[in-house]
Amino acid sequence: MGHVYVDVEVVGSKGVGRFRALVDAGATYTVIPRKVAEELGVATTGRRVRVATAKGEAFLDEGIAVIRLMGEERANVVLISDDVDRVLVGVTTLETFGLRVDPTTGQLERVGVLLLNLRQ
């Protein structure tokens, strides 16, 4: 299938950044470079999240940013990294927008948001 890219905007208290982001269906959260977070004013929550990476275990700062994707906008948890050099869109963000990667086309498709009713 190859790599899937999407145009995305990240909104912080200092401004809006526009990126051609890599969709990483193996990542739980969207990850943004620390430089981007600082330039846009993406606030951190004070929490550090332990993640598994290709280089081993790492601890990344958690932040909250507004993400604009495919004409819609949602507040999302993002992780802030000193090691990544581009915005990576993770599965949690895709799910909040009701999107998934279509493996036959390599494009994002709308599938809706799921809700599990535990009471019957």
CATH number at residue 57: 2.40.70.10
Look at the chain and report how many structural domains it folds into. 1
Q: Per the domain annotation, does 64 fall within a domain?
A: yes
Interatomic CA distance for residues 27 and 19, integer angstroms: 18
Single pTM value for the model: 0.88
Task: Give per-residue pLDDT as tens, 40-88.
Answer: 999 999 999 999 988 889 999 999 999 999 999 999 999 999 999 999 9
- Residue 29 structure tokens: 């959260």
Task: Between 22 and 26, name the one with better pLDDT.
Answer: 22
**What angle is formed at CA 34 by the lines to CA 60 and CA 102, rounded to 5 degrees?**
75
- Residue 40 structure tokens: 């846009």
Is the CB of residue 67 less than 8 Å from the CB of residue 45? no
Residue type, 27: A
Q: Which DSSP string do the residues of 62-108 spell out, in sequence order?
A: EEEEEEEETTEEEEEEEEEESS--S-EE-HHHHHHTTEEEETTTTEE
Q: Per the domain annotation, does 103 fall within a domain?
A: yes
Beta bridge partners of 19: 8
Quick one: pLDDT band at residue 105, thresholds 50, 70, 90?
A: confident
Full residue range of the structural domain in which residue 66 is found? 4-110
Q: Per the domain annotation, does 26 fall within a domain?
A: yes
